[in-house]
């Protein structure tokens, strides 16, 4: 499994610089695949700080989509 992990704003903070997409948070398996439009996602933590996928390409796409979401906020 490949992981996508957010980076904290500081070493003493639980706040992320960029979290994973809001629509992905707290989802697993088929529900996450449907929400993301990606084929082999496994999970995204409800807080959006970590997620996993079964392929490197999907993990990269999850990160790219999260960055795009952040840029539009």
Spans of all domains in the chain: 21-72
Q: Mind listing the pLDDT tens digit of every residue in the chain (73 residues)? A: 999 999 888 777 788 889 999 999 999 999 999 999 999 999 999 999 999 999 999 999 999 999 998 878 7
Nearest Cα neighbor of 45 from 15, 19, 64, 67 is: 19
Enter the pTM of the model.
0.87
Contact 49, 64 (CB under 8 A): no
């Amino acid at each position: 499994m490949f992981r996508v992990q957010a980076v904290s704003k500081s070493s003493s903070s639980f706040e992320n610089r960029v979290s994973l997409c809001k629509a992905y948070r707290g989802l697993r398996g088929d529900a996450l695949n449907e929400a993301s439009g990606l084929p082999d996602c496994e999970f995204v933590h409800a807080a959006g700080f970590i997620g996993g996928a079964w392929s490197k390409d999907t993990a990269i796409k999850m990160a790219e989509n999260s960055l795009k979401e952040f840029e539009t906020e």
